[in-house]
């Protein structure tokens, strides 16, 4: 990656931007940002990078919440990020349960390809940041660079995959500092 060129950065949502939950994040009230992540997105945006979100949302397919509730959560996210001076350019989400065997659920690359088509992203020059192995595997499938963050499920991902071939950062803020340096 050329640090002088704007980068298309694709983030996982739960565990990277907001706190994750084993019981699923099911409402705007349960959607709680990781403060340093909001600041990181604002800094990256202000530096000219485009920020996207690719997120598995199987809670829809499992009947825990609706697509409308998901949109309300995303409105809250957009508002908080905007207030900090940042911007999410586009969001792709998979509403399917794992057993649906769709093409979009990470570790498959459908969400990344969808964002690429809609936003003219060269995925081979993009950066994917996630907290789970499936985020990183989706990046691998399209030739994108990938960073692992240790928030959310990141520590478990690192523990289960010793010496992964990815750069590892404490959180999205630390990853953003590496990108901006």
| Catalytic, out of 14, 20, 131, 135 | 14
d(CA 63, CA 108): 22
Tokens 């990183």: give the residue: 136
Catalytic residue flag (residue 122): no
- Torsion sign (Cα): 124, 126, 129, 134: negative
Residues sharing a CB contact under 8 Å with residue 148, sequence separation 6 or more, in sequence order: 129, 130, 131, 136, 154, 157, 158, 164, 166, 167, 168, 169
- Establish whether 12 is a catalytic residue: yes
First to last CA, the chain: 12
**Collapsed DSSP state (helix, strand, coil) of residue 157:** helix
Choose, from 2, 12, 114, 140, the residue flagged as catalytic.
Answer: 12
Tokens of 43: 């800094």
From the list 87, 99, 90, the residue with the least C-alpha distance to 40 is 87
Known catalytic residues?
12, 14
């Amino acid at each position: 990656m050329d640090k002088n060129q704007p980068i298309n950065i694709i983030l996982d949502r739960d565990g990277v931007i907001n706190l994750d939950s084993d019981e699923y994040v099911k409402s705007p009230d349960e959607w709680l940002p990781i403060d340093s992540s909001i600041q990181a997105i604002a800094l990256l945006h202000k530096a000219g990078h485009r920020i996207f979100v690719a997120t598995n949302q199987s809670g829809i397919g499992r009947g825990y919440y609706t697509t409308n509730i998901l949109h309300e959560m995303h409105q809250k996210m957009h508002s908080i990020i905007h207030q900090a001076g940042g911007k999410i350019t586009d969001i792709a989400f998979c509403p399917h349960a794992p057993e649906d065997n769709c093409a979009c659920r990470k570790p498959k690359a459908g969400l990344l390809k969808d964002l690429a088509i809609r936003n003219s992203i060269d995925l081979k020059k993009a950066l994917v940041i996630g907290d789970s192995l499936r985020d990183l595997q989706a990046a691998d499938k399209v030739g994108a660079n990938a960073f692992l963050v240790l928030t959310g499920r990141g520590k478990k991902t690192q523990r289960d995959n010793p010496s992964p071939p990815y750069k590892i950062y404490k959180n999205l803020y630390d990853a953003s500092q590496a990108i901006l340096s």
